[in-house]
Amino acid sequence: MNIAVVGSGYVGTTIAACFADLGHDVTAIDIDEDIVERLNRGEASIHEPGLDELLSEHAGGRLTATTDYDAITDCDVTFLALPTPSREDGSIDASIIEGGARSVGEALSGGSEEHLVVVKSTVVPGTTEEALIPAIEDGAGEAVGERIRVGMNPEFLREGSAVTDFLEPDKVVLGASDDWSHERLESVFEPLIERAEPAVVEATVREAEMIKYANNAFLASKISLINEIGNVCKEFGIDAYRIADAIGLDDRIGEQFLRSGVGWGGSCFPKDVDALRAAAREAGYEPELLDSVVAVNDRQPERMLALLEKHVDVEGARIAVLGLSFKPGTDDIRNSRSIPAIEGLVERGADVVAYDPVATENMRELFPDVEYADSASEALSGADGTLVMTDWDEFAALGDAFEGMASPVVIDGRRIVEPSESITYEGLTW
Ligand SMILES: NC(=O)C1=CN([C@@H]2O[C@H](COP(=O)(O)OP(=O)(O)OC[C@H]3O[C@@H](n4cnc5c(N)ncnc54)[C@H](O)[C@@H]3O)[C@@H](O)[C@H]2O)C=CC1
Ligand SMILES: O=C(O)[C@H]1O[C@H](OP(=O)(O)OP(=O)(O)OC[C@H]2O[C@@H](n3ccc(=O)[nH]c3=O)[C@H](O)[C@@H]2O)[C@H](O)[C@@H](O)[C@@H]1O
């Protein structure tokens, strides 16, 4: 099958490489010439384990990249993997994907072959029908529903494990409004379904859109709930991880996403929970529980600072911040919990020294005046306290490095540091 993928970011590049690996002929389209050139050389512009290997195997063969939307005319299916950022008020800004949908329509105008356009981006229920289909129609100069049809196929991959998440999913959600579109979507996924045997969910377009938000809102809520329970545990001197291990044994709860601590960040949970809250409000429903899910998350970095202040007079003190990315395995700092932590330290007059194995340069753009160390030991050397913000494996093996601190106060937001008698150790929820 000939597939076009519009947008070559985390999702677009991953699915383009994986579709090629599954045996399809793939054309990746992006407006960024540098991204396109690199893809044609077999290189990704994002870091994901296994991605460069797939690209170097298929670039120039089953995978080509271009900035020209007209390449779509030779394809059977086009996936839209374009950004859907938040507006200031948290609601979704669909302008980029609307522009992409219009360009796809223009490329298809005047053609005679049947074509399925699939929305891969995360969009609030109703967006495909109310904004994207009209944009395609506008570009194509013909109504959607006959020659050109539209489906929705949400993506559940995680950064840091994008390739394996895509190739070994728990489920594939195929959203469409007619049998032809469902069948064409199924043909795209047939090699993956045969190989990985995921559950296949046939849904309407609106249901597919909502499944994605429900999935992310549920996971973010699960973390906020265990964080709230963890905060209560801390008050009672109970280790929340022992409680999580026990409740996770109940199949109805499940053991995953029960790691309590400083909370969730990244490019999607915050954006998607906010977009769902805004869409609910616009529809006349007050999403009180989701509001609280965000409020609990926002509070966790402050709780770490309060724990630090129990042991250290922060004003004028040298405080090390270990871990800057929103989770280990990535240099992505979008909505990282380290950001409010550093802000809080700076507000209190601390002298901040930060370290991350890969995300330093990204954080330097945001906080150019903060000092950045080349290693965790260097950051800890002479520090009066440290906040551990990301669960990088290397922080589990710091041991002696804490002895170089002026006063070894360790506030752990991720339960990654091994407590010992030589340090003053506080876990956030244990
Ligand atoms: N990053 C993730 O882990 C996941 C993201 N998603 C969703 O997938 C969508 C895409 O997200 P990412 O891949 O992270 O975005 P991204 O920001 O990494 O990549 C978007 C790409 O689109 C390109 N682009 C922008 N405007 C364009 C246009 N008019 N025509 C062609 N290319 C254009 C950009 O140059 C960039 O390469 C979003 O809706 C996101 O919520 C869904 C699941 C996981
Ligand atoms: O829509 C998206 O973009 C993606 O968002 C998340 O993926 P991602 O943001 O890459 O990362 P996660 O591994 O889910 O972690 C998100 C945040 O939650 C935190 N987290 C995760 C798990 C946990 O038990 N506790 C916890 O605090 C992490 O530290 C991180 O800050 C979802 O897991 C993906 O299914 C989804 O496709």
Q: pLDDT digit string (tens) for 18-71?
A: 999 999 999 999 999 999 999 999 999 988 999 999 999 999 999 999 999 999
Q: Can you read off the two tokens belonging to residue 351?
A: 């002298």
Q: What is the largest CA-CA distance in the chain?
A: 75
Annotated ligand binding at 122? The verdict is yes
Q: Can you read off the two tokens belonging to residue 38?
A: 């690199």
Burial label for 6, CB within 10 Å (0-12, 13-18, 19+), is: buried
Q: Which residues line ligand 2 (CB under 6 A)?
A: 155-159, 216, 219, 223, 257-259, 261, 263-266, 268-269, 326-327
Q: pLDDT digit string (tens) for 85-100?
A: 999 999 999 999 999 9
Half-sphere exposure of 124 (CA within 13 A, CB side): 20
* Ligand 1, atom nearest to 29 Cα: 31
Question: Does the predicted interface ipTM exceed a cut of 0.90?
Answer: yes
- Residue 152, amino acid: M
Q: pLDDT digit string (tens) for 325-335?
A: 999 988 899 99
* Ligand 1, atom nearest to 10 Cα: 13
What share of the chain has pLDDT > 70, as a percent? 100
Query: What residue's CA is closest to ligand 2, atom 14?
Result: 158
Question: Hey, what long-range contacts does 394-402 have (CB within 8 A, 24 or more apart)?
Answer: 394/357, 395/322, 395/323, 401/376, 401/377
Annotated ligand binding at 157? The verdict is yes
CB count within 10 Å of CB 41 equals 12
Q: pLDDT digit string (tens) for 104-138?
A: 999 999 999 999 999 999 999 999 999 999 999 99
Instruction: Determine the Cα–Cα distance for residues 8 and 325; give it in Å rounded to an integer.
Output: 22
Pocket test for ligand 2, best of 163, 223, 335, 414 (most atoms within 8 A of CB): 223
Instruction: Determine the Cα–Cα distance for residues 80 and 11; give it in Å rounded to an integer.
Output: 10
Q: Are 275 and 296 in contact (CB under 8 A)?
A: no
- What is the pLDDT, as a whole number, of residue 383? 98
* Known active-site residue 268: yes
Proximal ligand: closest to the CA of 169: 2
Proximal ligand: closest to the CA of 339: 2
* Ligand 1, atom nearest to 267 Cα: 1
pLDDT value at 399 more than 90: no
Q: What are the boundaries of each domain within the chain?
A: 2-203, 209-430
Domain 2-203 has CATH 3.40.718.10: no
Mean pLDDT of 329-355: 97
Instruction: Determine the Cα–Cα distance for residues 37 and 280; give it in Å rounded to an integer.
Output: 41
Phi-psi region of 338 (alpha: psi -120 to 50; beta: other; left: phi over 0): alpha
Q: pLDDT digit string (tens) for 242-293?
A: 999 999 999 999 999 999 999 999 999 999 999 999 999 999 999 999 999 9
- What is the pLDDT, as a whole number, of residue 299? 97
pLDDT value at 298 more than 90: yes
- What is the pLDDT, as a whole number, of residue 21? 98
**What pTM does this model have?**
0.96
Mean pLDDT of 183-191: 98
Give the Å distance between the CA of 335 and the centre of ligand 1. Answer: 17
| Intrachain domains 2-203 and 209-430 with the same fold | yes
Superfamily of domain 209-430: NAD(P)-binding Rossmann-like Domain (3.40.50.720)
Proximal ligand: closest to the CA of 38: 1
Which one of 18, 75, 233, 268 is the catalytic residue?
A: 268
